[in-house]
């Protein structure tokens, strides 16, 4: 009975008990969120090339429940890669028989998470982030992950970080995850930074630096 109650609390489907956790690697610096969606607060980050364990993914969705060692979180499958018969494949593009458990999104969030979301979310998702590294980040050789940080810049000076955090803009929520190389739709306004080449916006709860011409994210301010 305790096992059944625990499964219900975690929102996991019963199929997850029949499948083992699967090792994956991040193809770029990737946010870990408190829930399966871009509106949930960021609770951590997986560095490019670092590994974690996937407990399962939402059916017909791109959010996967991962274990960080101390607690569970959610990550976007476009930027996770797994081994498939000696070849690295993007988790989103896995075959149906890859052995990844199907999990359900939590039916409800805790009061703490609700407060965190209410404090950061001011509107519904208005669009989508254009894909970042995804498949291009997977190297040709088996077991190789490369190029996840393509388009990144040297970390900005402290004056830029201070300006961006002190001059918050209206947050925008887009479907997907904010990673270096991802593109923003034209509907997202970009704010200028004095004496600096890049602009910025607050996307999915995080400030990002953006190339105004390509509208590609060049740095995620963490």
Domain-embedded: residue 165: no
Q: Is residue 134 part of a domain?
A: no
Whether residue 218 lies inside any domain: the answer is no
Q: Residue 116 belongs to a domain with what CATH number?
A: 2.30.30.40
Per-residue b/e over 145-157, b at no fewer than 16 CB within 10 Å? bbbbbebbeeebe
In a domain, 206, yes or no: no
- What digits encode the pLDDT tens for the residues 79-118? 999 988 888 889 998 878 778 888 888 875 544 444 344 3
Structural domain including 11 reads 2-122
Q: For residue 78, what are the contacts with CB-CB under 8 A and spacing of at least 6?
A: 62, 90, 91, 92, 131, 132, 134, 176, 177
In a domain, 132, yes or no: no
Q: Which residue has the tokens 């996991």?
A: 12
Share of the chain above pLDDT 90, in %: 53
Q: Which residues of the chain have pLDDT under 50?
A: 1-18, 110-122, 135-137, 139-150
The verdict on residue 87 lying in a domain is yes
pLDDT in tens, 133-156: 554 445 433 333 333 444 568 899
How much is the pTM?
Answer: 0.77
User: Is residue 73 within 8 Å of residue 66, measured between CB atoms?
Assistant: yes
Domain count, the chain: 1
pLDDT at 87: 85
Residue 152 lies in a domain: no
Chain centroid offset of residue 18 CA: 26
């Amino acid at each position: 009975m305790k096992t059944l109650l625990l499964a219900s609390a975690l929102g996991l489907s019963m199929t997850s008990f029949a499948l083992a956790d699967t090792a994956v690697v991040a193809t770029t610096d990737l946010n870990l969120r408190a829930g399966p969606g871009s509106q949930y607060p960021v609770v951590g980050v997986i560095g490019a090339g670092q590994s974690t364990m996937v407990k399962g993914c939402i059916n017909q969705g791109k959010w996967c429940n991962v274990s960080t060692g101390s607690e569970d979180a959610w990550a976007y499958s476009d930027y996770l890669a797994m081994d498939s018969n000696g070849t690295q494949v993007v988790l989103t593009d896995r075959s149906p028989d890859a052995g990844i458990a199907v999990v359900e999104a939590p039916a409800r969030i805790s009061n703490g998470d609700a407060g965190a979301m209410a404090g950061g979310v001011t509107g519904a998702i208005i669009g989508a982030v254009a894909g970042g590294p995804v498949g291009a980040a997977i190297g040709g050789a088996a077991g190789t992950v490369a190029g996840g940080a393509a388009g990144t810049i040297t970390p900005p000076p402290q004056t830029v970080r201070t300006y961006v955090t002190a001059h918050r803009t209206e947050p925008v929520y887009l479907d997907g995850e904010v990673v270096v190389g991802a593109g923003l739709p034209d509907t997202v306004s970009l704010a200028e930074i004095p004496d600096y080449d890049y602009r910025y916006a607050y996307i999915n709860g995080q400030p990002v630096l953006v190339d105004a011409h390509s509208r590609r994210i060049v740095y995620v301010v963490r």
